[in-house]
Copies of this chain bind each other. A is one copy, B any other.
Amino acid sequence: MLTYSMDQRGNLSLYEYLYQCIRGDILSGALAAGERLPSKRSLAEHLHLSVITVEGAYQQLEAEGYVYTLPRRGFFVSPVERTAPVPATPPSAPEPEERSWRLDLKRNQVDRSRFPVSTWARLARRVLSEDGEALLRPVPHQGLPALRRAIADDLRDFRGMAVDPAQILVGAGAEYLYLLLAQLLDRDAVIAVEDPGYPKIRQVYGSLGVPCRPVPLDSQGMDLAALAASGAAVAHLSPAHHYPTGLVTPIGRRQALLRWAETSGGYIIEDDYDSELRFTGRPIPTLQSIDRGGRVLYMNTFSQTISPSMRLGFVVLPPALLAEYRRRLDFYACTVPALEQHVLALFLSEGHYERHLSRMRKEYRLRRDAVLEAFRSSSFASRITLSEQGAGLHFLLRLKTSRSDEDLRRRGEALGVRLGFLSEYAALPSPTYAHTLVVNYGGLEPAALPEAMALLGAVFAE
């Protein structure tokens, strides 16, 4: 008869301890396949347990397949491999630690202190207290209707775009939307990406095995002859403000790009990632707003304007692709939690978003002016050329130097300075990219400028 010392069970319940003992004996081979277990009643008597306890253990063993029953004959041991228990120490996989920098010009940072967290929190509390169940109610796959309405209204009022909320698809950030668009467009179709350009675009498409061709830029944006020669069916562009060059594509080139799409039957993904951050005049109108042929997929996120950790973006699909999306991809549930969608809908529709943008533009303009002034009055001012378009949180700095980019990077690292170089954003090398830094100044407080210039002076010293 099976004999276990039940007082060694520690915190386990009686049935669970008994189950573990018998399972151990089956896995060690002490109980052989085909062997019959004692009846519940006799084992209960033997171990001074209740029949219910033994029954619980037997049922669990049966549910997991360690034993099987034969009608009116009882429980029998199943054939299983003999194994020792798996050691309970998990594999050690220390996470790579992020280095902290004295000065980080590479990382595209938004100054978090600018965001009206208290307003957002107040709206979140309102949603939670007025309609907490909203958290749990299913959201349509394209996104909460109130949020899509608010986005369409914002696009109409501030971007001059005529968008039906039914064309909008809400998703968890730009990278997720790239994943979705790659599935929506023909998977074998070549996608042209700007070179240099935002690396994650190439990384996402590359990771999906989508053929992706870097197409060089001229002074107006993507080069049309190179685009035509690339064999691309889709062009992924940031015409309002290219990253990292800051280039704004003029109206003539925009029209020509649309003609390319119309005549070739191609599509343009208009990635409008930071168009809200223009410091002078109005935002540059979108390609989508002058598209008559339904060739433009417009996308944007709230990562630059609210926070990347919010993970909220959207796509506006042209009619033909909307129908295709509904036919093939509508099985994907919306990736953004219901709460964030409700709160953002209120944040937009009550005007908080545009007020926040207007404050941001004002404050970043001041910051940009201070940063540019600091560079222009720095010890290395005579050796640099700045090119910036009054927009976005980055600009290019060209340095006269005899050192290589790699040399500058290493010198920076030794001094705790992280530099980003234009050459890193290019797939196809070109000598014209050398000695050009991408300066992301979004996280650069005016008070930190003197130290920053001193550090850069040391890095740039010949």
The residues of A with any CB-CB pair to B shorter than 8 Å are 15-16, 19, 56, 59-60, 63-66, 78-81, 83, 86-96, 112, 115, 117-118, 120-121, 124-125, 128-129, 132-133, 135-140, 142, 152, 162-164, 166-167, 172-173, 175-176, 179, 183, 187, 199-200, 203-204, 207-209, 220, 248-255, 259, 278, 280-282, 284-285, 289-292, 294, 306-312, 318-319, 322-323, 326, 328-329, 331-340, 389-390
The CA of A26 and the CA of B276, in the complex, are separated in Å by 25
Of chain B, the residue at the smallest CB distance from A258 is B81
Report yes or no: A93 in contact with B166, Cβ–Cβ below 8 A: yes
B residues less than 8 Å from A336 (CB atoms): 172, 311, 337
Report yes or no: B164 in contact with A90, Cβ–Cβ below 8 A: yes
B residues less than 8 Å from A138 (CB atoms): 308-309
Q: A83-B255, A90-B163, A167-B90 are in contact. Are A220 and B319 (CB under 8 A)?
A: no
Report yes or no: A309 in contact with B139, Cβ–Cβ below 8 A: yes
Nearest CB on B from A291, distance (A): 7
Of chain B, the residue at the smallest CB distance from A329 is B207
B residues less than 8 Å from A139 (CB atoms): 309
Nearest CB on B from A443, distance (A): 11
Q: A65-B220, A80-B255 are in contact. Are A319 and B91 (CB under 8 A)?
A: yes
Contacts beyond the supplied A93-B167, A93-B319, A173-B335: 5 A-B pairs with Cβ under 8 Å: A63-B280, A66-B250, A93-B164, A117-B133, A172-B311
Nearest CB on B from A19, distance (A): 8
The CA of A117 and the CA of B111, in the complex, are separated in Å by 33
The CA of A118 and the CA of B290, in the complex, are separated in Å by 48
Report yes or no: B335 in contact with A281, Cβ–Cβ below 8 A: no
Report yes or no: A88 in contact with B162, Cβ–Cβ below 8 A: yes
Of the residues B164, B187, B207, B308, contact of A209 by C-beta under 8 Å: B187
B residues less than 8 Å from A91 (CB atoms): 164, 167, 294, 318-319
The CA of A96 and the CA of B137, in the complex, are separated in Å by 18
The CA of A156 and the CA of B132, in the complex, are separated in Å by 31
Report yes or no: B117 in contact with A121, Cβ–Cβ below 8 A: no
B residues less than 8 Å from A207 (CB atoms): 183, 328-329
Of the residues B94, B133, B142, B322, contact of A112 by C-beta under 8 Å: B133
21 contacts between A and B (CB under 8 A): A59-B280, A63-B278, A64-B248, A64-B251, A65-B249, A78-B250, A81-B252, A86-B162, A90-B163, A93-B164, A93-B167, A94-B166, A117-B132, A117-B133, A120-B135, A136-B310, A172-B335, A176-B335, A207-B329, A309-B338, A339-B340
